[in-house]
């Protein structure tokens, strides 16, 4: 009889599993695992590690990674191709249709890289709409500076990931673009009016609300809940479900981030009580994971159905792709765009 699935996604310490981790993960049965640079060395090593993780659980494990391109990427040369940051695509072409196709192709190629390793979830795309006075934590990780651009290009990325057999994670719902602080370090507080949030910040998530997984923002929105960040706010997560219309699997951002307060156990309980389906803990430190797991229930009801629905959307046979040809086309367009940028008269960008 299959063991019940725990409502958590966990990190691990190194390049291979320790005996202690093997027993802990087998006993816990987390819904998934997340990989970081500390877990990655070569393609063969990653394949072996992923296979070992999957073998420890009685269900189809979600294997997550942050592979956005640009400054947020866990797989890097020389073993894996490099990809541009999301904001770079708009610099390559002035044709929105060509940009959309390029974004989709980039995501499709990234999905190919991940699927070859057994990784089935990418924590991308970023659907935040960065504002001029916000912290640079989002910056060029976003596909543009208007909600329409972010929504359209974000959807293209989602389509590319799904076509390659990898689930996208839209983040950071309901929007991190106005945050004046890095939530890894501090709790951002946003003072925007609800109408402005709905018109700008929520819009890309509404357009992509049919995606399988979303990650919450550790951001406090005074217009919604002046006491709790979205991750632990019932009011905010009700908006995610009822206004934005997201019905998929809702996962927290990393519980270890300094935007959240209280012990890890209290953070777990607060997030689940607010309405998330699954909590995410990334450090791989055993003592911390034990605290998280101690307060994490088994998946059941709507949360279990959402997890199963997400897994069903992983294409067993990805859409056909001539990888060599596709990568050559992708690189050619990027190079053409870079050449055009370098030929621009530098005085054109100076204030008059």
Given 58, 95, 184, 191, which residue is catalytic? Answer: 184
The Cα 328–Cα 52 span in angstroms is 33
Active site residue 184: yes
Compute CA distances 45 → 35, 76, 260, whole Å. 12, 14, 34
HEC readout, 209-250: CCCCEEEECCCEECCCCCCCCHHHCHHHHHHHHHCCCCCCEE
Active site residue 218: no
The Cα 133–Cα 23 span in angstroms is 47
Give the three-state DSSP class for 172.
Answer: strand
Q: Dig out the tokens for 76 from the structure.
A: 């890097």
CB within 8 Å of 76: residues ≥ 6 apart: 82
Where are the alpha helices (H) located in 56-201, listed in sequence order? 89-92, 96-117, 147-163, 194-196
Q: Which neighbouring-strand residues pair with 63?
A: 33
First to last CA, the chain: 72
The Cα 280–Cα 258 span in angstroms is 14
Compute CA distances 183 → 46, 237, 325, whole Å. 29, 18, 40
Q: Which residues are catalytic?
A: 184, 253
């Amino acid at each position: 009889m299959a063991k019940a699935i725990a409502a958590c996604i966990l990190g691990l310490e190194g390049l291979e599993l320790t005996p202690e981790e093997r027993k802990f993960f087998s006993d816990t049965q987390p819904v998934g695992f997340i990989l970081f640079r500390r877990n990655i060395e070569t393609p063969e090593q990653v394949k072996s590690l992923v296979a070992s993780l999957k073998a420890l659980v009685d269900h189809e494990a979600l294997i997550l990674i942050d592979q956005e391109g640009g400054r947020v990427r866990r797989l890097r040369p020389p073993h894996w191709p490099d990809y541009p940051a999301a904001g770079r695509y708009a610099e390559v072409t002035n044709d929105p249709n060509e940009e959309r196709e390029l974004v989709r192709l980039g995501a499709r190629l990234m999905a190919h890289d991940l699927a070859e390793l057994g990784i089935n979830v990418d924590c991308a795309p970023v659907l935040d709409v960065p504002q001029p006075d916000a912290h640079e934590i989002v910056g060029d990780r976003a596909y543009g500076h208007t909600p329409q651009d972010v929504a359209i290009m974000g959807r293209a990325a989602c389509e590319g990931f799904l076509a390659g057999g990898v689930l996208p994670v839209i983040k950071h719902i309901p929007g991190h673009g106005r945050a004046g602080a890095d939530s890894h370090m501090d709790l951002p507080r946003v003072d925007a009016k609800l109408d402005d949030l709905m018109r700008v910040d929520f819009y890309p998530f509404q357009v992509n609300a049919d995606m399988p997984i979303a990650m919450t923002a550790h951001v406090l929105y005074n217009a919604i809940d002046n006491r709790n960040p979205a991750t632990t706010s019932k009011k905010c997560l009700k908006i995610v479900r009822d206004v934005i219309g997201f019905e998929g699997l809702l996962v927290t951002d990393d519980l270890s981030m300094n935007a959240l307060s209280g012990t890890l156990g209290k953070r777990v309980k607060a997030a689940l009580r607010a309405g998330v389906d699954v909590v995410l803990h990334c450090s791989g430190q055993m003592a911390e994971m034990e605290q998280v797991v101690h307060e994490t229930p088994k998946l059941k009801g709507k949360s279990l159905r959402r997890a199963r629905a997400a897994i069903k959307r992983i294409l067993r046979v990805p859409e056909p792709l001539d990888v060599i040809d596709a990568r050559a086309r992708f690189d050619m367009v990027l190079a053409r765009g870079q050449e055009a940028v370098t030929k621009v008269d530098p005085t054109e960008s100076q204030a008059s």
